[in-house]
Structure 1
């Protein structure tokens, strides 16, 4: 099946002058059917409809599992996917962590539905979106020599979620393609292995390598009974790329 991206264009509402922003900047459908924003009300992050027939409706934003770091940023996804009576919109949670000599940034995407007839609902799907993890691996001259000076392990993950043309559930929600690419440097790095236990590197190891088990494609279809999207086959365990 040919995959076609069927996202709708979004418009950002006019922003005030830098330093004068007092409210979250919404995103709007070009036809004005809806505008949404992320806001914190009574200490709870919410998806808020700020314009259109659903103006004033709110929905609590669910916190994805596995990102319980102290520093988390919540934002609107910069894309939307058209549905027969509205759109699928996204919320991103970026979790950041600091290590001794390293950092981690991991983002998950939660998908919500805006239906101009029934309101907002979700999350319908939660998937890993991006990560960039760098971990210190040298703690002395012996480590530097054994690793040929490559003193950090790096793990990178990027995913794309898009609509598939010509396929939809009984509820009219489109099937979604999900494509990921994971890579590591040095190529033989393993996050669950203590760096001191890793065999000495060869010069050929000092390159970025795609990690096949976490570079994959899936199709998500909406299950009307479960009320959420389900993949055509189980996703692999890629926690070494998707956990801060």
Structure 2
């Protein structure tokens, strides 16, 4: 994903944005840290105390060589790494840092399965505990079995799975810290409009013209998130819709 920042304003400098690049681990099998080019900041995602937990760590320098700034536990089984192209936001001339981590959920079941991912932003502020300030869904891809015999195949015109696709982008903009964020999502189902809360086989038989993707307007949205000082978290300009059909495997 491409992250766009406005030019530095004379009255109010824009927050710095730096990319995080992987640094080879000293020992094979060790978790690979990601660092800024000058190694000023490094971050690491490691396994937590349980299988459903990961730990996000922020270092002042390379792990093992410099100080561990703080750690934060995230409830997730798998990680896709850091906000790509690898984002670390910080307030100029301070140690106030926002780090984005992308997490993944997967599930397999008879005749189908799916995966989804979400992005969590964690703020590391000197003298305070790390704080999760935003979590939004990023992607989803699910297949739900809809044929259980030859008659079902005929009724479904050969389309034997309901398919759900979800994709979103999160971008940082503006000259404030924390920056304003824009979020845009799109969602589709196949064949036509289907729902995980309905029995597809209870619907009329499908024809070839029904075998198209349908846009879900309710889950295809654009939102602007601004930082709320009272709650120390991002809030959208309108509530996000419930899109569990796409984001819960």
Residue in structure 2 matched with residue 139 of structure 1 by the alignment: 148
CA–CA separation in structure 1 for the residues paired with 2:129 and 2:34: 15
Residue pair 2:21, 2:36 contacting (<8 A) in 1 also: yes
CA–CA separation in structure 2 for the residues paired with 1:132 and 1:213: 17
Residue in structure 2 matched with residue 107 of structure 1 by the alignment: 117
Residue in structure 1 matched with residue 57 of structure 2 by the alignment: 48
The SS at the match of 1:57 is: strand
Residue pair 2:152, 2:201 contacting (<8 A) in 1 also: yes
Residue in structure 2 matched with residue 216 of structure 1 by the alignment: 221
Residue pair 2:115, 2:142 contacting (<8 A) in 1 also: yes
CA–CA separation in structure 1 for the residues paired with 2:3 and 2:100: 19
Deviation per CA, 1:24-80: give whole Å up to 9, x if none: 11111223221000123544532112443972133232327xxxxxxx313432331
User: Any residues of structure 2 matched to 1:1-244 within 5 Å, and which?
Assistant: 5-6=4-5, 7-15=17-25, 21-40=28-47, 42-43=49-50, 45-52=54-61, 55-63=67-75, 72-77=77-82, 78=84, 79-85=86-92, 86-115=96-125, 117-118=126-127, 121-166=130-175, 168=176, 172-244=177-249
The offset of 1:150, in angstroms, is 0.3
CA–CA separation in structure 2 for the residues paired with 1:15 and 1:23: 6
Which blocks of at least 5 consecutive residues in structure 2 are unaligned? 6-16
CA–CA separation in structure 1 for the residues paired with 2:207 and 2:98: 47
TM-score between both structures, scaled by the size of structure 2: 0.82
Count the aligned residue pairs: 227
CA–CA separation in structure 2 for the residues paired with 1:216 and 1:242: 15
**CA root-mean-square deviation:** 2.4
Greater CA drift, 43-52 or 183-192: 43-52
Residue pair 2:226, 2:236 contacting (<8 A) in 1 also: yes
Which blocks of at least 5 consecutive residues in structure 1 are unaligned? 65-71
